[in-house]
Copies of this chain bind each other. A is one copy, B any other.
Amino acid sequence: MPFDFTPLVPAGSPAPAAKWTGTAKYHFIGGNNDPDQVPVAGLKAAAAAVLEREGASLSQYGLNSGPQGYLPLREFLAGKLKHDAGMTCAADDILIVSGSLQALDLVHGALLARGDTVICERDCYEGTLNRYARLGVNVVGVPLDKGGLRIDALEAALKDLKAKDVRPKFIYTIPTVQNPTGTIMDEDRRAGLLALADQYGVPVFEDDCYADLIWNGKRPPALHAMSTTQNVIHIGSFSKSVAPALRVGFIVAPWPILSRMLALKTDAGSGALEQMVLAEYCKAHFETHVPQLRAALKKKLDTLVEALSEQFGTAAEFDYPPGGIFLWVKLPDKVDAMALYNAALAEGVAINPGPNWSVDKDWSRSRLRLCFASPSHQEIRDGVAVLAAVCRREFGVPVRSANIER
């Protein structure tokens, strides 16, 4: 009889993973990107050049750059973050990590203990919310409007916590193409957030992983750039700008807290070949690649918006986002997004139900996140049609939708 491991698993462990059975036919989930926009030729040339020049250094953990990551990549980032986001940071202020998911884990590891409180946007990245749940952290969600996190609501939340004698560990925000709402906080609002953070003595955790994907290429300065008190931990990623399967992200933070994260990064460094290839590629091509990628993504967004209008009419409400890879959609109140998720998946359409992407399960009950970067234009059109048919069958909305021949 096979050995039974089950009694040895600690109480409170997450449920075992299910076997992977492939992706849905219409795959509107996950931060995947457009396969046609992976700069294959450029990556190939970069790999050849950097391996030829420095391949032997793969014999060393950390190459010749130490545990913070490949120095030319950190130097590229320091320049890029200055140029794009107004940030002043040196290569030594940057820690290269295995995607911004490891960045989340390291920031959480350095600052959070069970029972702590954090503030985040009410609608928020699922992976962050899941991490808070697993860590046993109390989450205060602050509402957003079309301009992102509402400063008045943030002030109220901070005041309320202070009255309860709770000092939150940080304010987590995605200020630049917020996930899932797609909003961008303008400079005034950023200043307001930073003023409150200073006033209440709460640091800011800025997740900027979508900031490269703004249609007009213009972004406000990072919170990290605007802070006068070095109270911002800034993270970013190459997953959205180059390719998600390259697991390369970064943390920019003052050394007293970055050194705490480095002490928790006990994996002997992130994948060096990916760092080397990215550095080599990005130095030469990042600035021309990203605008092409943006243009392709915006076209897919337009296809999605068109398909939603055609299939859902006024039943699907949304704000056209200024960038990103997802659309946050409100359906009529009678739609239960969790139930729609299951029914749609059975028909081959994968969507993110709102309640998984929000602190407020009621508010998000009829909302969805639809990712548009990865499916083809045809798959977007067909998938939305199937989704509308399922939604009509299950919830009676949309009442009518376009007839599409298949």
* Chain A residues near B (Cβ < 8 Å): 1-6, 8-11, 13-20, 22-23, 30-38, 40, 43-44, 47-48, 51-52, 55-63, 66-68, 92, 98-99, 101-102, 105, 110-113, 116, 127, 130-131, 169-170, 201, 203, 229-231, 243-248, 254-257, 259-260, 262-264, 266-274, 277, 373-374
Q: Quick check: B266 and A245 within 8 Å, CB to CB?
A: no
Least CB distance, A67 to chain B, in whole angstroms: 6
* Chain B residues whose CB sits within 8 angstroms of the CB of A59 once the complex forms: 32-35, 37-38, 243-245, 373-374
26 A-B residue pairs with Cβ-Cβ distance under 8 Å, sorted by A, are A1-B229, A3-B203, A5-B111, A5-B256, A10-B111, A14-B263, A17-B67, A17-B260, A17-B262, A18-B259, A20-B66, A23-B60, A34-B59, A36-B56, A43-B55, A58-B244, A58-B246, A60-B244, A98-B98, A98-B271, A99-B268, A244-B268, A247-B268, A247-B271, A247-B272, A273-B273
The 10 A-B pairs at the shortest CB distance, nearest first, are namely A20-B66, A271-B271, A40-B55, A245-B272, A3-B231, A16-B259, A58-B243, A17-B262, A10-B113, A47-B47
Q: Quick check: B38 and A55 within 8 Å, CB to CB?
A: yes
* Chain B residues whose CB sits within 8 angstroms of the CB of A5 once the complex forms: 111, 203, 254, 256-257, 260
In the complex, residue of chain B having the shortest beta-carbon distance to the beta carbon of A134: B266
Cα A228 to Cα B29 in complex, Å, equals 42
* Chain B residues whose CB sits within 8 angstroms of the CB of A6 once the complex forms: 256
The number of times this chain is found in the oligomer is 2
Q: Which of B13, B203, B231 contacts A260 (CB 8 A)?
A: B13
Q: Which of B20, B31, B40, B272 contacts A52 (CB 8 A)?
A: B40
Cα A259 to Cα B34 in complex, Å, equals 29
* Chain B residues whose CB sits within 8 angstroms of the CB of A34 once the complex forms: 59
Cα A342 to Cα B23 in complex, Å, equals 54
Q: Quick check: B40 and A110 within 8 Å, CB to CB?
A: no
Name which of A31, A99, A170 has the most chain B CB atoms within 10 A of its CB: A99
In the complex, residue of chain B having the shortest beta-carbon distance to the beta carbon of A16: B259
Q: Quick check: B17 and A263 within 8 Å, CB to CB?
A: yes
Least CB distance, A250 to chain B, in whole angstroms: 14
Q: Quick check: A203 and B271 within 8 Å, CB to CB?
A: no
